[in-house]
A and B are shown apart, each in its own frame.
Chain A
């Protein structure tokens, strides 16, 4: 800095050197509104494009699962052999060249004209002439049911088991942990398959099989969190103030475990949906005439070479469904518990 400039600085008005009025400590006033944990998490989630895409997809697919099957006059099991194996046709989109909804097969041959069919099957039909639109959304409905079921099981059995084990600790925990360790050692799918063999394949056996195996991971996470939190000062403080066990669990432990619980649940859903689709695919899940996305994909393989739509449509739906839940789960994990990234 040159002296000239320094000189200039000296020629400052004298009144500037009066003591400033005592101002309120501006640095202490909080300019941003205070956010609680959930508001903060929601803000972070909103900023995650993947999670928002996932959420929108889930809403869209759920809407279709609920209302899709009743959007046309066909039912999921109604057969019409005369209309078997029709390619998809949506009249409104039929004139768009690159979309496969013109009712023509892969050689460009209009099957609807050939078979003299007046109705339009939006997703085409299968080899028994059942409407694939209705069946696909019906299958989505089952997938979502299974996903929700898994979440509920996680919630009730997993949290209870893990909570009890972690909260009481000691011998109770020891025994409960041994049980979990052994359950972890058994491949889940194997248990599910065995279970389904003993009962009849169908939605009930899948449900039961998941009740038996689905909660182990959640139990481990809840237990770990409980054990960790139990030793922390705020819980000890509450204990010394005479808080009851109930109060400790519901007021202190649970709110702090909710983050990991929600994240774990969100990851359970897509894996449950996959398990159901997988079982149905190998013939152990939903049996015809009911439809599951897995069995639809399996049906699709039979006519892969001639009617690829029968494979591609349910494939895309199941993939989107699992993808959307994974995206949302990823986003939730980042928003709720950054430490769980892995």
Chain B
């Protein structure tokens, strides 16, 4: 197990280094100058500023400098927002994003599991078909489309919920639903097929032959074994929530990282784009790492053999 964790850790670090390096060189390739109000400054003034930020150093020196800064959590300064540090900007906006993302994952996973469970128990019933249809619609309708339809029908046409803003729980309802649709659909599909497979397995038959009641079989044998692989979905779902948040936060006016990211794209605020990119990458890689370890801890087959495969 320790070896397994160590190996994953090494991969994580290598991946992060590569992403950081990639980001650095892409920054260098970017068109335009990092200087704000360039036209107002004299060439001499420009030189002074470039010197100050080390932008006249040879590339390797800049690279080392950049990596060192990254290590300290310094992501550079925003071009657009009066040279504010990118890390501060992310820090200020992380709250709403994290809140919304967490709420969507929890809500989506629970609803998805219930939906998949019902579909599997009543296989080939009307309920099953309904759940399967919901699931395929859920993975097909893009989150921004779904958000638009939600907003139009439940905020504009029938004003049950506020259109946009971030002032309390009722403001989180529509964005949470919009974000969690994909989660619900994915989890429900996975849960259904996983549970059906478990329920038709020999060990469930043996448990029945032991005289265990259907309810106990479901709770003690089937559910646990069907739920374990669901953990592996958390990685892809985290990515989906992140990408989803880029559009959902804009549509519903939520002051999160996603909104900032899209704004920065519109205004070519490269340091912010790169900073957020790095931040998202780290988040994703850490989630995948945790999922891997968690899976190892929960599934005895992996826990004891000390690694997958």
User: Do residues B11 and A185 form an inter-chain contact, with CB atoms below 8 A?
Assistant: yes
Q: A304: CB under 8 A from chain B?
A: yes
If A182-B18, A301-B251, A319-B142 touch, does A197 touch B151 (CB 8 Å cutoff)? no
The smallest beta-carbon distance between A49 and chain B, in angstroms, is 10
The smallest beta-carbon distance between A26 and chain B, in angstroms, is 34
Among the stretches A36-44, A188-196, A237-245, A251-259, the one at the interface with B is A188-196
Q: Bound complex: CA of A239 vs CA of B284, how far in Å?
A: 43
16 interchain pairs, CB-CB under 8 A:
A182-B18, A185-B285, A186-B19, A190-B281, A194-B26, A198-B26, A198-B30, A281-B142, A282-B247, A282-B250, A294-B144, A304-B148, A323-B136, A323-B141, A326-B139, A342-B194
User: Do residues B140 and A311 form an inter-chain contact, with CB atoms below 8 A?
Assistant: no
Size range of the interface on B?
Answer: 35 or more
Q: B219: CB under 8 A from chain A?
A: no
Chain B residues whose CB sits within 8 angstroms of the CB of A327 once the complex forms: 136
Query: Which residues of A (174-194) have their CB < 8 Å from a CB of B?
Result: 181-182, 185-190, 193-194
Q: B103: CB under 8 A from chain A?
A: no
If A190-B280, A326-B139 touch, does A312 touch B152 (CB 8 Å cutoff)? yes
The smallest beta-carbon distance between B247 and chain A, in angstroms, is 6
Query: Which residues of B (163-218) have their CB < 8 Å from a CB of A?
Result: 190, 193-194
Among the stretches A120-128, A132-140, A151-159, A270-278, the one at the interface with B is A270-278
If A304-B152, A312-B152 touch, does A186 touch B281 (CB 8 Å cutoff)? yes
Q: Bound complex: CA of A327 vs CA of B30, how far in Å?
A: 41
Count of interface residues, chain A, beta-carbon cutoff 8 Å: 41
Q: Bound complex: CA of A194 vs CA of B262, how far in Å?
A: 13
Query: Which residues of B (119-175) have their CB < 8 Å from a CB of A?
Result: 136-137, 139-142, 144-145, 148-149, 151-152, 156-157
The smallest beta-carbon distance between A159 and chain B, in angstroms, is 22
User: Do residues A277 and B247 form an inter-chain contact, with CB atoms below 8 A?
Assistant: no
Chain A residues whose CB sits within 8 angstroms of the CB of B251 once the complex forms: 301
Q: Bound complex: CA of A274 vs CA of B136, how far in Å?
A: 14
User: What are the interface flags for B15-57 relative to A under an 8 Å C-beta threshold, 1 for contact and 0 otherwise?
Assistant: 1001100110010011000000000000000000000000000
Q: Bound complex: CA of A320 vs CA of B58, how far in Å?
A: 52
Chain B residues whose CB sits within 8 angstroms of the CB of A202 once the complex forms: none
The smallest beta-carbon distance between B264 and chain A, in angstroms, is 10
